[in-house]
């Protein structure tokens, strides 16, 4: 079965939209998508959505965020978790955008990666969701699902991105993150995946080796630390 057909099969059973997809559909500006992606680190979509809305109701431009008091930013984005680190980061990113890019978010990978605290996943999210440029943002869902369904056999998201870029036709890159994020939230859950309602159950090898290896590694580390 072609990659596009597998993605089609998953896509038709998904309900609702993930947060970044919602912003992209509403044609929100690249700055909001960049900031929202930074806020989304290690938190749920609902928290990112709320923090983004609260922040942008008050400060919606690089000028406003860069000149805002950091304690106030912390309060506004509190819901997203790790709010101290994230407040400092969005302030710093806003300052660099003003100083180097005239307040505009760059639309190429290398310039995005040069922004403070912006890694490959965030840069690729901005390319895909803000500019519709083909890229493969690999978050925890994309990494996990790509391994489970046997598309890749990788130990970390960076390697997964490289492997997927070699494997998946370019015309499918833009939709892959959107579909896998929602699929990972609704069906191919991190714990207790719902195989019984999965639209690709018949072709899935259910390869959990990457997750089991990670679990073993963590257990070993924990055992060492209590010795």
Query: Considering the complex, what minimum distance in angstroms separates the CB of residue 209 from ligand SF4?
Result: 12
Nearer to ligand SF4, 62 or 193 (CB): 193
Query: 43-82 burial by CB neighbour count: b if 16+ within 10 A, else e?
Result: bebebbbbbbebbbeebebbeebbebeeeebeebbbbbbe
Distance CA 7, CA 87 (A): 36
CA distances from 43 to 23, 39, 50, 79, 155 (A): 17, 8, 11, 9, 22
- CA 121 to chain centroid, in Å, comes to 6
Per CB under 6 A, residues contacting ligand SF4 are: 148-149, 187-188, 193-195, 198, 200-201, 204, 206
Nearer to ligand SF4, 10 or 33 (CB): 10
Nearer to ligand SF4, 39 or 164 (CB): 164
Tell me the backbone φ, ψ of residue 152, rounded to 5 degrees: -135, 165
**Cα atoms in the Cβ-side hemisphere of radius 13 Å centred on 101:** 19
Nearer to ligand SF4, 88 or 204 (CB): 204
In this structure, the chain runs to a length of 227
Nearer to ligand SF4, 132 or 195 (CB): 195
Query: Considering the complex, what minimum distance in angstroms separates the CB of residue 165 from ligand SF4?
Result: 21
Query: Considering the complex, what minimum distance in angstroms separates the CB of residue 202 from ligand SF4?
Result: 9
Query: Considering the complex, what minimum distance in angstroms separates the CB of residue 200 from ligand SF4?
Result: 5
Query: Considering the complex, what minimum distance in angstroms separates the CB of residue 208 from ligand SF4?
Result: 8
The two tokens of residue 110 are: 């290398």
């Amino acid at each position: 079965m072609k990659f596009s057909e597998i993605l089609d099969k998953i896509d038709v059973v998904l309900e609702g939209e993930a947060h970044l997809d919602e912003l992209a559909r509403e044609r929100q500006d690249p700055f909001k998508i960049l900031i929202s992606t930074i806020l989304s680190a290690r938190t749920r979509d609902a928290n990112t959505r709320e923090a983004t809305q609260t922040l942008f109701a008050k400060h919606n431009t690089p000028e406003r965020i860069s000149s805002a008091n950091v304690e106030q930013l912390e309060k506004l984005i509190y819901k997203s978790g790790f709010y101290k680190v994230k407040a400092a980061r969005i302030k710093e990113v806003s300052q660099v955008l003003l100083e180097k890019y005239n307040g505009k978010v760059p639309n190429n990978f290398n310039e995005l990666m040069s922004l403070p605290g912006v890694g490959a996943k965030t840069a690729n999210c901005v390319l895909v969701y803000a500019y519709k440029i083909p890229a493969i943002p690999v978050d925890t869902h994309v990494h996990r699902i790509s391994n489970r369904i046997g598309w890749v056999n990788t130990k970390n998201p960076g390697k997964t991105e490289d492997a997927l870029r070699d494997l998946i036709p370019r015309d499918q890159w833009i939709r892959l993150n959107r579909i896998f994020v929602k699929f990972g939230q609704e069906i191919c859950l991190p714990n207790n995946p719902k195989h019984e309602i999965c639209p690709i159950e018949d072709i899935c090898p259910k390869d959990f080796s990457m997750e089991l290896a990670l679990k073993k590694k963590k257990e070993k580390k924990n055992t060492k630390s209590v010795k």
